[in-house]
Amino acid sequence: MRVCVVGTGYVGLTTGVSLAFLGHDVTCVDLDQAKVDLLSGGRSPIYEPHMEALLGESAERMIFTTDYSAAVPGADVVFIAVQTPSLPDGNPDLTYLRAAAEGVGRHIDGEFTVVVNKSTVPIGSSNWVDSILRESFERTHERRSDGEFSVASNPEFLRQGAAIQDTLYPDRIVVGSDNPRSLDVLNRLYRTILNQTFTPPTYLPRPAELGAVPMVSTDLASAELIKYAANAFLALKISFANEIGQLAGRVGADISQVTRGIGLDTRIGPRFLQPGIGWGGSCFGKDTAALIATSAEYHHAMPIVSAAREVNKLQRRLVVDRLLDELRILKGRRIGLLGLAFKPETDDLRDAPALDIARMLIDRGARVRLHDPVAAERLRREQPDLTEYLTGEVEDVFDDSDAVVLVTEWAQYLDLDWAKLAPLMRTPVILDGRHCLDPGRLAKLGYRYLTVTGR
């Protein structure tokens, strides 16, 4: 099939590259010429495992352009995958979505095109996009549209760091549309994923336990709400684990054992129960804020979701409070942070806990050192005020430090030679922000081991 993808961020690029790998002809549109040039040369503007390998394998079926007229006409499916950042009131900014819909509407020229909202958008946005498409189409063609296109919702459920795996081997595919023809087109587009009949990449084999992938076909509003509800629930699980963690610290319980004990209950499950600093990234914060804002439009409160957001904010402050309790004075103290990206296997710094923690420490007079194996270059571009605190060597984070905080659980950090690093520190204090280090082993090496829960 002929596919157009508008936007080459995490979602758009992963969608386009994966569909091209599966044999579809894909044209990606992005207004950033530098990004288009980079992608045309086979290089990815984002750090995502296997992305450049898949780009290389799919190069013959992919085109990158800044021109809608080179991508939209004749397309069977057009994915709109542009950013929808949060406004101050929590509602998403739909400026880019409107511009993309207008650009697509001007260039639709084919028998039938399914225009898919891939961006995370408020409930009801598909109807809004449909109206923009029609207005743009009618202004350009000077006639009413007559079944040339239909709007569908196809939310993504990608984990950064595992986005390609989640695209090729998903838990489910959700498609919302009020048009049976649209559902049929998307069913055909995803058929090889649904049936798992494609030959997997050698570097990303199919999970042995994976069978046929379920497709959830529903109306537009339900598909849009599924996306928000899924992210909100995952955010709730993380915040619940952290809230229980604070109680565990007060009563002398081990939160890691508590979450393991409840996670073995199949009704609960172990995933997203890891205690620590909390969630960041572009999805959970933005989507929970949008869900609360949308609910308010319908005079409905979301106290549980609101509480999850507050608990998450608290976890970042607790890092500083825990260091203050331990060191008594932060002014002049040298404190290192291991990890800047909001999670491992990505260079994404959006709502990254490390940035807030670093700034809180700096505001209190601490001498901060920052390290990340991948996200350092992005920090230089996006957070120039923190550039002076960067170091290229892990050893510099420990050298003469009063404390080191593990913020992002990169595999490189878990495998450090901790025995070699302890003598470098002025006071060997480790705050494990992700509960992923071995406290017993570190204690034997002479470290004072801390967590945000107090144990």
How does DSSP assign 16-47, residue by residue?
Answer: HHHHHHTT-EEEEE-S-HHHHHHHHTT--SS-
Mean pLDDT in residue range 385-413: 97
**In the predicted structure, residue 142 carries a pLDDT above the cut 90:** no
**In the predicted structure, residue 430 carries a pLDDT above the cut 80:** yes
Cα 421 to Cα 69: distance, rounded to the nearest angstrom: 57
Q: Count the alpha carbons within 13 Å of 188 in the hemisphere toward its beta carbon.
A: 12
Phi and psi (nearest 5°) for 153? -115, 130
Residues 5/29, Cβ–Cβ less than 8 Å:
yes
Q: Active site residue: 4, 28, 283, 436, which one?
A: 283
Instruction: Show the 3-state SS of 57-121.
Output: HHHHHEEEECCHHHCCCCCCEEEECCCCCECCCCCECCHHHHHHHHHHHHHCCCCCEEEEECCCC
Mean pLDDT in residue range 424-442: 96
Cα 183 to Cα 235: distance, rounded to the nearest angstrom: 30
The pLDDT of residue 84 is 87
Determine the distance from the C-alpha atom of residue 129 to the mean position of all C-alpha atoms in its chain, rounded to a whole number.
Answer: 24
DSSP assignment of 231-284: HHHHHHHHHHHHHHHHHHHHHT--HHHHHHHHHTSTTT-STT---SS---SSSH
Cα 32 to Cα 36: distance, rounded to the nearest angstrom: 6
Phi and psi (nearest 5°) for 337? -115, 125
**In the predicted structure, residue 218 carries a pLDDT above the cut 70:** yes
For 430, the 3-state DSSP assignment is: strand
Query: Does 283 qualify as catalytic in the annotation?
Result: yes
- The pLDDT confidence band at residue 45, using thresholds 50, 70 and 90, is very high
**In the predicted structure, residue 110 carries a pLDDT above the cut 80:** no
Mean pLDDT in residue range 74-98: 91
The pLDDT of residue 119 is 81
Q: Which two tokens stand for residue 425?
A: 């520190």
Report pLDDT digits (tens) over 227-271. Answer: 999 999 999 999 999 999 999 999 999 999 999 999 999 999 999
The pLDDT of residue 121 is 79
Residues 166/157, Cβ–Cβ less than 8 Å:
yes
**In the predicted structure, residue 101 carries a pLDDT above the cut 90:** yes
Q: How far is residue 278 from each of residues 206, 216, 288, 452, measured CA to CA in Å?
A: 30, 30, 14, 10
DSSP annotation of 385 reads: G
- The pLDDT confidence band at residue 107, using thresholds 50, 70 and 90, is very high
Q: Could you tell me which of 122, 108, 118, 126 has the C-alpha nearest to residue 178?
A: 126
Q: For the beta carbon of residue 313, count every other beta carbon within 10 angstroms.
A: 14
Mean pLDDT in residue range 286-291: 93
Q: Which two tokens stand for residue 138?
A: 């009618």
Strand partners, 370: 337, 390
Q: For the beta carbon of residue 121, count every other beta carbon within 10 angstroms.
A: 23
pLDDT > 70: percent of the chain? 100
Cα 34 to Cα 45: distance, rounded to the nearest angstrom: 9
Cα 400 to Cα 78: distance, rounded to the nearest angstrom: 55
The pLDDT of residue 221 is 92
Q: Could you tell me which of 255, 249, 228, 243 has the C-alpha nearest to residue 310?
A: 243
Mean pLDDT in residue range 75-84: 95
**In the predicted structure, residue 455 carries a pLDDT above the cut 70:** no
Q: How far is residue 296 from each of residues 90, 147, 290, 305, measured CA to CA in Å?
A: 11, 35, 10, 13
Cα 41 to Cα 244: distance, rounded to the nearest angstrom: 49
Q: pTM higher than 0.85 for the full model? A: yes
Q: Count the alpha carbons within 13 Å of 237 in the hemisphere toward its beta carbon.
A: 16
Q: How far is the first Cα of the chain from the last one, in angstroms, to the nearest whole number?
A: 55
Q: Using the structure block, give the residue that is written with the tokens 């992608």.
A: 39
Q: How far is residue 180 from each of residues 186, 269, 329, 353, measured CA to CA in Å?
A: 10, 35, 65, 44
Mean residue pLDDT across the chain: 94
Q: Which two tokens stand for residue 108?
A: 């639709």
Angle among Cα 13, 14, 17 to the nearest 5 degrees reads 80
The pLDDT of residue 146 is 82
Cα 214 to Cα 171: distance, rounded to the nearest angstrom: 7
